[in-house]
Amino acid sequence: MNHELRCYREDAQAWLAEHAPRYSGQARHGLSFDDDLALARAWQAHKVEHGYGCITLPREYGGAGESELKKVIFCEEEMHYDLPLVYFGISLNNPLPIFLRYAPQAWKQKLGPATVRGELIWCQLFSEPSAGSDLASLRLKAVPTEGGWLLSGQKVWTSWAQIADWGVVVARTDASLPKHAGLTYFFLDMRSKGITVQPIRRLGEEKDLNEVFFDEVFVADEQRLGEVNGGFKVAVETLMIERYAVTDESGYGPTLENFIDLASKARLNGSPALADGEVRARIAETYVERQGLRAIHRRALEAFARGQEPGPEGAIRKLLLGRTRQNLAAMALDLLGANGAQLAAHGHSVNDFARAWLDPSLRIAGGTDELLLNTLAERVLGLPQDHRPDKGVPFNALAK
């Protein structure tokens, strides 16, 4: 890693050490949902003021106009603090950059800076009940009308739709074409008439996911991003914006250190849990895997710095972290004994082993384990693609 990037990291570390504590850890303890969200907005605005908000986005909208690598470095450092970042995880990383690439100038000026500062939040309306891993099979339809389109149908698993001001949505505009070819991409005001947002209750009680219903929602044609029937390409581009997303190295579960801390206080059959062979082996395995993942991560960053595309690192990382998080949490529940039987009040998956165990959505959301394994088999190992009976068939001719 070159000198400039090393300096950038050191500056970021110093800046975070000075500013992050007021927005993280103790400062968040016991906050209501609304207060935590307000703190999150304040942190985002504060970062923008100091050149750390939306690092890769153009300066004219409030971004820092810097490289992707600097963003990765800052995210790594920022993750060491328990900051309220979740509400912006989608908004700033996917819908906003794609909006800034495709939207008319006037719209960009109207919504761009306010979104960068965290005043506006965006959601991404992609998945549907019948379109999960297979996004292109979505059914929400957009019918042409005077000056625009009328959208009807249902989206699901939409993160933060309940607090979103704007959203990006993919809809089917021509069902007589094969599934990928008849889709169009729009952005829209989430307060539009005809939109209903319903929360989804999750096993670990997190309040992020929603179902969103569209009943003849009017969207002006100037809010189209990309060509008519060219929406699938824009959707894939949205998902690929972060070519290498920085993920927490504990899979958004408690850390290995948290586990060791818990094990050092627990007893098994009258002896310290840390003396137990299985517990020691689990700690050692997790440690070895973490060192390996760190090396893979460094290799990805080096490739980035040389201007190369990232390889299979992201998929490998997500697969392993999902498994390890569950393995650690399962053993932690064993060590917690009767106390593990409850969800800690104010807990979340990062600090509560019971929640980390109960909600396996890391292995499902953003590409299931099975889809990632397919990707590795097809893209890296060069094995043939699965049989796809719907390939090239008009969408409306497919059996439902």
Partner 1 sequence: MNFQLNEEQSMLQASVRRFMEANCAFDKRSQVIDRGSFDAAHWQQLADLGLLGLTVPEEFGGMNCSAVEAALVMEECGRVLCVEPYWAIAVLAAQTLAATADPKAGPLLQALCLGEALPVLAHEEVNARGNMASVHTRATAIDDGRWRLNGEKSAVVAGNVADLLIVSGRTSANSDDEHGISLFLVDPNAPGVERRDVRLIDNRWACHLYLKDVEVSDKDLLGSVGHGFAALRHGVEHATLALCAEAIGVMERALWITRDYLKIRKQFGQLLGDFQSLQHRMSEMLIELELSRATLHYALSSLEHSPAQRSRALSVAKAHIGKSGHFVCGQAIQLHGGIGVTEEYVIGHYFKRMTMINGAMGSSMHHFEQLAARERSIGVSV
Interface residues with partner 1 (CB under 8 A)? 127, 130, 132-134, 137, 156-157, 200-203, 267-270, 276, 278, 326, 330-331, 333-335, 337-343, 354, 357-361, 363-365, 368-370, 373, 386-391, 393, 398
Rounded CA gap, 40 and 46, in Å?
10
Q: Which CB sits closer to partner 1, 143 or 281?
A: 281
Q: Which CB sits closer to partner 1, 59 or 391?
A: 391
- Kindly state the smallest distance separating residue 120's Cβ from partner 1, in Å: 27
Rounded CA gap, 165 and 1, in Å?
39
Question: Which residues have a Cβ under 8 Å from the Cβ of 95 and sit 6 or more positions away?
Answer: 122, 123, 124, 166, 167, 168, 187, 238
β-strand pairing of 122-125 with 166-172: parallel
DSSP code of residue 156: E
Bridge-partner residues for 383, per DSSP? none
Rounded CA gap, 368 and 319, in Å?
9
Rounded CA gap, 384 and 289, in Å?
30
DSSP code of residue 343: P
Q: Which CB sits closer to partner 1, 106 or 338?
A: 338
Residue type, 3: H
Q: Which CB sits closer to partner 1, 38 or 336?
A: 336
- Kindly state the smallest distance separating residue 135's Cβ from partner 1, in Å: 10
- Kindly state the smallest distance separating residue 312's Cβ from partner 1, in Å: 18
Judged by phi (left if over 0) then psi (alpha if -120 to 50, else beta), residue 16 lies in alpha
- Kindly state the smallest distance separating residue 130's Cβ from partner 1, in Å: 7
Q: Which CB sits closer to partner 1, 93 or 210?
A: 210
- Kindly state the smallest distance separating residue 364's Cβ from partner 1, in Å: 5
Q: Which CB sits closer to partner 1, 39 or 212?
A: 212
Q: Which CB sits closer to partner 1, 264 or 291?
A: 264
- Kindly state the smallest distance separating residue 266's Cβ from partner 1, in Å: 8
Q: Which CB sits closer to partner 1, 11 or 211?
A: 211
Q: Give yes or no for a contact between 335 and 262, defined as CB atoms under 8 angstroms apart.
A: yes
- Which CB contacts under 8 angstroms, 24+ apart, belong to 49-57? 50/15, 50/19, 52/12, 52/15, 53/92, 53/116, 53/117, 53/118, 54/92, 54/96, 54/116, 56/97, 57/96, 57/97, 57/100, 57/116
- Kindly state the smallest distance separating residue 259's Cβ from partner 1, in Å: 14
- Kindly state the smallest distance separating residue 376's Cβ from partner 1, in Å: 13
